[in-house]
Structure 1
Amino acid sequence: MTILTPPAPTALDVVAGHDLTGRTAVVTGGASGIGLETVRALALAGARVVIGARDPRAAGAAGAAAADLRKSTGNQAVTVAALDLGSLRSVREFADALLEQRDPVHLLIANAGVMGLPPGRTADGFETHLGVNHLGHFALTVRLLPALRSAGHARVVVVGSSSHHLGGLDLDDPHFEHRPYDPYLAYAQSKTANALFAVALTGRHRADGVLANTVSPGAALTGLQRHLSAETKLAVGLVGPDGTPNPRLRTAAQGAATPVWAAVAPELAGTGGAYLEDCALAEPWDGQGPPRGYLPEALDPERAARLWDVSAALVGVG
């Protein structure tokens, strides 16, 4: 994972000077952590933002987060709707509700995710990490393609992770039916899928004005790691021996900087299928020193095309 000593730019630093009035952004998992700070920045720039959250009730955490964002940003066009990425039915209902409004979607931030879970399956029988982190976002994006196309120039930002360095994607056994389950390998596999998805989406829909890039937000201690044991958090450098957060970790606002940069940076016009980190185009890792950038196989067009076909067959779209 990429640990950066503060100070580092925040999402608000990145979005300063940008006017997103008249644009619609959809942010999955936008009620907490890096997603919340992404929504905050986009809302302050004037975008209409729809947060996809598992529990959108006004009395719940997501509803409270949306209300706080409307108050703190002065942007009343911040809403929250039910979205469970572990349920294809929920994905369809969320997407169809947006499509019924007949508004273009200019930005889709695929931010929500799970990490370090015990063996489990989604409502549709997919391994949980792959099902939520990749297949749910795949189904959502494909369902929203009419709204993305109608934007003219739409950006899909897929929040990946440097953890893709830990292991690749086994398309012959994506749900760990024939190999021992490992929660961190499952997470790494889903993050490899995120990167390959951005490559495939761009390849298939560049002519429609839809471009996708993968971003690594860097290491930030958020709710994503809530399932990790204390020993694991210590081993990977998230906390110190006394259990306190590593002071070199990014804040959620710093972690949101690269996702927001991917959404608004004018220099990324026409760029798709790339891997971004530290508000810049990343380089392929040369195998020397701590892993940085991306593994070349995570952006391989042939593997991306095969992943698209497998994903489409699994979710019944595309």
Structure 2
Amino acid sequence: MGSSLSSQPELPEVDLKGKVIIVTGANAGIGYETAKSLAQMGAKVILACRSETKALGAIDRMKQEHNEEQEVKGRSKVKSQVEELDLVYMNLDLGSLASTTNFAESFKVRGTPLHALICNAGMAYGPDEPSVDGLEIHFQVNYLSHFLLILQLLPVLKSSGPNSRVVLVASLAYRFARWNEEDIQGTNENKTTIYSNTKLYQIMQMLALERRLEGSGIGIFSVHPGIVETELVKREGQRIPMMTSFFARLGMSTHFLRNPFKGALTTLHAVANPIYDGKTALYFENSKPHSLTSLPRDRWKQEHLWKYSVECLRNYITEDMLDIFTS
């Protein structure tokens, strides 16, 4: 889901040497291009993925592509700052709150700074069965586990600033969400609405965090990558609604879809463009800040979602994690 292919501003040359960045779901699609480009800019990039095999395969491909691009001037999509890419795999299964906690703890044990957290992983039209935690699976993978990850890593982001950033890969689909405080997880909704709701929640989370992190030096952004040709619209056997499938296939046949790098470009602007230093709570479309509709800006709904989310995570968060918002 998304908007038309209007022009995107070019990304300025950026040197990220010395920066550490986590990208969830970095083994394919937008996440792959995001991780590769940030590593080419000089960052150490943590690929936070569920499948070790796919993640290590992605790392090998990134390094091979980088070496090939180095041999031909102008072939690289971003200005490369390094000869070799610094890429690390760490296991993260967002379908499990325990796995999400283990990832955060394992990262903190490393003792490295964290300059950016990119919450890119997501799913649509997945199984009807709940997660291992008994939660609606799209709600957990797209939104709640990322919420937990942010809470657990905020102290590291705060100490690594100024200008540390959290980037939430949301979607224009938030405009098709249906707010129901009696059914936040959307267990009685169709898959298209559930997906849209999770993207709405990411944007509302950004705005709730903005208030709580004022003066912290952490920038919170959300982005709509556009209609992107990823595995989601190619995958065989998924129960994608007829009209959604039709428009996805139409996009591919008419070249309306963005390739994954063009989709990643909006994320790259949000995480690396220095013009956004000191900024926060920006929503991006076509690599530029864009206005939001009234629904995600409703403060009462933001706070209702925040309290509900904290309650869902009561066994995985501590008072210390929430104290950062008062310190």
User: 1:23: which partner in 2?
Assistant: 19
Q: How far has the Cα of 1:300 moved from its partner?
A: 2.9
User: 2:69: which partner in 1?
Assistant: none
> Residues 83-110 of structure 1, C-alpha deviation per residue, up to 9 Å, x if partnerless?
0111011001111111011211101100
Q: How far has the Cα of 1:29 moved from its partner?
A: 0.3
CA distance in 2 between partners of 1:101 and 1:300 (Å): 39
Contact 1:154 1:211 in 2 (8 A): yes
What are the residue-to-residue correspondences of 1:24-63 with 2, within 5 Å? 24-56=20-52, 60-63=53-56
User: 1:268: which partner in 2?
Assistant: 276
Q: Secondary structure at the match of 1:145?
A: helix
Q: Which of 220, 229, 232 does residue 240 from structure 2 map onto?
A: 229
For 2:206, give the aligned amino acid.
Answer: A
Q: How far has the Cα of 1:3 moved from its partner?
A: 4.3
Q: How far has the Cα of 1:5 moved from its partner?
A: 4.1
For 2:60, give the aligned amino acid.
Answer: A
Contact 2:3 2:172 in 1 (8 A): no
What are the residue-to-residue correspondences of 1:262-301 with 2, within 5 Å? 262-283=270-291, 294-301=292-299
- Are positions 1:253 and 2:261 aligned together? yes
Q: How far has the Cα of 1:295 moved from its partner?
A: 2.1
CA distance in 2 between partners of 1:166 and 1:244 (Å): 22
- Are positions 1:81 and 2:90 aligned together? yes
> Residues 50-106 of structure 1, C-alpha deviation per residue, up to 9 Å, x if partnerless?
0111112xxx22111012223433434201111011101100111111101121110
User: 2:63: which partner in 1?
Assistant: 70
User: 2:2: which partner in 1?
Assistant: 2
Task: Give the share of equivalent positions with the same residue, in percent.
Answer: 29
Structure 2 unmatched runs, 5+:
67-82, 323-327
Q: Secondary structure at the match of 1:144?
A: helix
Q: How far has the Cα of 1:114 moved from its partner?
A: 0.4
Contact 1:199 1:272 in 2 (8 A): no
Contact 1:119 1:181 in 2 (8 A): no
Contact 1:107 1:263 in 2 (8 A): yes
- Are positions 1:144 and 2:153 aligned together? yes
Q: Secondary structure at the match of 2:215?
A: helix
Length-normalised TM-score, structure 1: 0.87
Distance 1:271 1:302, change over 3 A: farther
Q: How far has the Cα of 1:181 moved from its partner?
A: 3.0
Size of the aligned set, in residue pairs, is 296
Q: Secondary structure at the match of 2:210?
A: helix
- Are positions 1:188 and 2:196 aligned together? yes
Contact 2:42 2:85 in 1 (8 A): no
CA distance in 2 between partners of 1:314 and 1:193 (Å): 14
> Residues 204-233 of structure 1, C-alpha deviation per residue, up to 9 Å, x if partnerless?
123222221110000012123333538334
> Residues 171-193 of structure 1, C-alpha deviation per residue, up to 9 Å, x if partnerless?
3212345xx33101110110000
Distance 1:250 1:199, change over 3 A: same
* Backbone CA RMSD of aligned residues: 2.0
Distance 1:96 1:245, change over 3 A: farther
Q: Secondary structure at the match of 1:207?
A: coil
Contact 1:202 1:212 in 2 (8 A): yes
CA distance in 2 between partners of 1:228 and 1:280 (Å): 33
- Are positions 1:215 and 2:230 aligned together? no
For 1:66, give the aligned amino acid.
Answer: I
Contact 1:114 1:129 in 2 (8 A): yes
Q: Secondary structure at the match of 2:220?
A: strand
Q: Secondary structure at the match of 2:118?
A: strand
CA distance in 1 between partners of 2:303 and 2:189 (Å): 25
Contact 1:274 1:299 in 2 (8 A): no
User: 2:184: which partner in 1?
Assistant: 174
Contact 1:50 1:80 in 2 (8 A): yes
Runs of 4+ aligned residues of structure 1 deviating over 6 Å after TM superposition are none
Length-normalised TM-score, structure 2: 0.84
Q: How far has the Cα of 1:117 moved from its partner?
A: 2.4
